[in-house]
């Protein structure tokens, strides 16, 4: 930052400043934790000498708060992979099962949007295909914030829901599936080579709610990368040019994510998470009937409060995944 030409490269300076802030936050939190621990230790010795029970009880609560602070800092230290600090895209696809799975896909999208909102992260809808009766067939959202991809990278896979169907007049129990695919937004400094002849670009009419603002032009864009068979699409902008630009950024991100997983020797896991959206492939189960439980099949972490999880309280599941992969 002390170099004379540092501020001339805006993208690089922005990246360096972000990294500096994150490291400063880690160090400052560590220093605050040490100071609080020292203060609590002194206060504890005094309370024991004076046999002050009320102060000792207050100390226990303060220690719990300090442990929470230390744990948050510890989690940040785990987010050290090359792409962890990047923003991310979340793709959601309904599995077989029509309205049931499409409604489940929309519930998952709501869950991640709620989680992002609680973290004060910025979220943006990139594309969406609504269900025939309810829910969504597919959706792509972009989430921006500190270490977003690092937090969500292990959410890719099949998510299973068991509940009494609100669409079944017989009130029978149904099992629904939806897939989640999380990949990082490529940094401007990362060069991903894309050859024009490897692309198939299609335009189509964006679906809208109707009325005077309905988009009547073929502005939505779908790009297929033929060698990898990766497909991306965007319809949130009225301009076909802007939609194409967003699609190209998404394609770069998908290709970069693919290369990351190759380097980490996770190809087999990648293929598994892209397999059939159905039985035997789920990474997490959300059971609302006949009992209430959310269980991650990889970490075996469980929660008996599915409503809270579906309202975006995902941190405990995400933390367990971080501990497991490090």
Helix (H) or strand (E) holding 241: helix 240-263
Kindly indicate the confidence band of residue 2, based on its pLDDT and cuts at 50, 70 and 90. low
Residue 231 domain flag: yes
Is 238 in the same domain as 180? Answer: yes
Asked if 225 and 135 sit in the same domain, the reply is yes
Which of 45-49, 119-123, 231-235, 275-279 is least confident?
275-279
Q: Are residues 30 and 154 in the same domain?
A: no
DSSP per-residue codes, 211-229: GGG---S--EEEEEETTTT
Tell which of 78, 99, 131 closes a domain: 78
Please indicate, yes or no, if residue 304 is contained in any of the structural domains: yes
Burial of 124 (0-12, 13-18, 19+ CB in 10 A): middle
* pLDDT for residue 10 is more than 80: no
**E-only strand ranges, 207-315:** 220-225, 230-234, 282-287, 293-296, 302-303
Residues 55 and 103 in one domain: no
Q: Are residues 44 and 88 in the same domain?
A: no
Instruction: Look at the chain and report how many structural domains it folds into.
Output: 2
Query: Mean pLDDT, the chain, as a whole number?
Result: 84
d(CA 36, CA 31): 9
Quick one: 24 and 88 in the same domain? Answer: no
Q: Is residue 27 part of a domain?
A: yes
| pLDDT for the residue 278 | 58
Co-location of 164 and 276 in the same domain: yes
In a domain, 252, yes or no: yes
136-140, 155-159, 260-264: segment of lowest average pLDDT = 260-264
213: tokens are: 């603002």
Domain membership of residue 290 (yes or no) is yes
- The residue from 78, 110, 126 where one domain ends is 78
**pTM score:** 0.74
List own/partner pairs for 159-162 with CB under 8 A and 24 or more apart: 159/104, 159/108, 159/282, 159/283, 159/284, 159/285, 159/286, 160/282, 160/284, 160/285, 160/286, 161/104, 161/107, 161/285, 161/286, 161/287, 161/288, 162/285, 162/286, 162/287, 162/288, 162/289
Sheet holding 282-287, edge to edge: 122-130, 136-144, 88-94, 173-184, 157-164, 282-287, 293-296, 302-303
Q: Kindly state the average pLDDT of the residues 122-136.
A: 91
Q: Which residue has the higher pLDDT, 275 or 218?
A: 218
Strand 136-144 to 157-164 pairing? unpaired
Contact present, 137 and 130 (Cβ < 8 Å)? yes
Instruction: For residues 286 and 292, give the distance between their C-alpha atoms in angstroms, rounded to a whole number.
Output: 8
Residues 126 and 255 placed together within one structural domain of the fold: yes
* Residue at 124 is within a domain: yes
Comparing CA positions, the residue from 141, 147, 77 lying closest to residue 112 is: 141
Establish if 280 belongs to a structural domain.
Answer: yes
Is the pLDDT confidence value at 264 over 90?
no
> What is the domain extent for residue 209?
82-326
CATH at residue 294: 3.30.70.1660
Same domain, 67 and 88: no
Whether 50 and 146 share a structural domain: no
User: 74 and 112 share a domain?
Assistant: no
Which of residues 78, 98, 133 is at a domain's end? 78
Rounded Cα gap, residues 303 and 308, in angstroms: 9
1 is a domain residue: no
Q: Could you tell me if 257 and 123 lie in one domain? A: yes
Dihedral over Cα of 117, 119, 124, 126: its sign: negative
Instruction: Read off the pLDDT of residues 297-311 as tens digits, 9 standing for 90 and up.
Output: 999 999 999 999 999
- Return the half-sphere exposure (C-beta side, CA atoms, 13 A cut-off) of residue 157: 19
Whole-angstrom distance between the N-terminal and C-terminal Cα of the chain? 31
């Amino acid at each position: 930052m002390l170099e004379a030409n540092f501020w001339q490269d805006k993208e690089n300076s922005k990246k360096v400043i972000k990294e500096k802030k994150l490291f400063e936050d880690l160090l400052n939190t560590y220093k605050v934790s040490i100071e609080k621990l020292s203060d609590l230790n002194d206060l504890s010795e005094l309370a024991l000498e004076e046999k002050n029970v009320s102060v000792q009880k207050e100390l226990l609560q303060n220690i719990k708060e300090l442990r929470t602070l230390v744990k948050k800092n510890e989690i940040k230290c785990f987010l050290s992979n090359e792409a962890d600090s990047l923003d991310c895209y979340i793709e959601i696809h309904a599995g077989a099962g029509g309205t049931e799975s499409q409604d489940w896909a929309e519930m998952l999208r709501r869950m991640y949007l709620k989680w992002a909102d609680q973290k004060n992260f910025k979220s943006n809808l990139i594309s969406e295909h609504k269900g025939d009766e309810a829910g969504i067939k597919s959706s792509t959202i972009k989430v921006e914030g500190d270490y977003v991809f690092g937090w969500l990278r292990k959410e890719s896979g099949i998510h299973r829901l068991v509940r009494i169907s609100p669409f079944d007049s017989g009130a029978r129990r149904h099992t629904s599936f939806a897939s989640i695919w999380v990949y990082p937004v490529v940094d401007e400094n990362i060069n991903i080579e894309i050859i024009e002849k490897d692309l198939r670009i299609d335009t189509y009419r964006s679906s809208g709610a109707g009325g005077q603002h309905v988009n009547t032009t073929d502005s939505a864009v779908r790009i297929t990368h033929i060698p990898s068979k990766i497909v991306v699409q965007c319809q949130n902008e009225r301009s076909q040019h802007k939609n194409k630009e967003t699609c190209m950024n998404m394609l770069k991100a998908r290709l970069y994510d693919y290369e990351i997983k190759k380097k980490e020797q996770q190809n087999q896991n990648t293929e598994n998470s892209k397999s059939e959206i159905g039985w035997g492939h789920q990474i997490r189960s959300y059971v609302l009937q006949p009992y209430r439980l959310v269980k991650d099949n990889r970490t075996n972490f469980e929660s008996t409060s599915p409503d809270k999880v579906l309202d975006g309280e995902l941190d405990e599941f995400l933390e367990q995944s971080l501990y497991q992969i490090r």
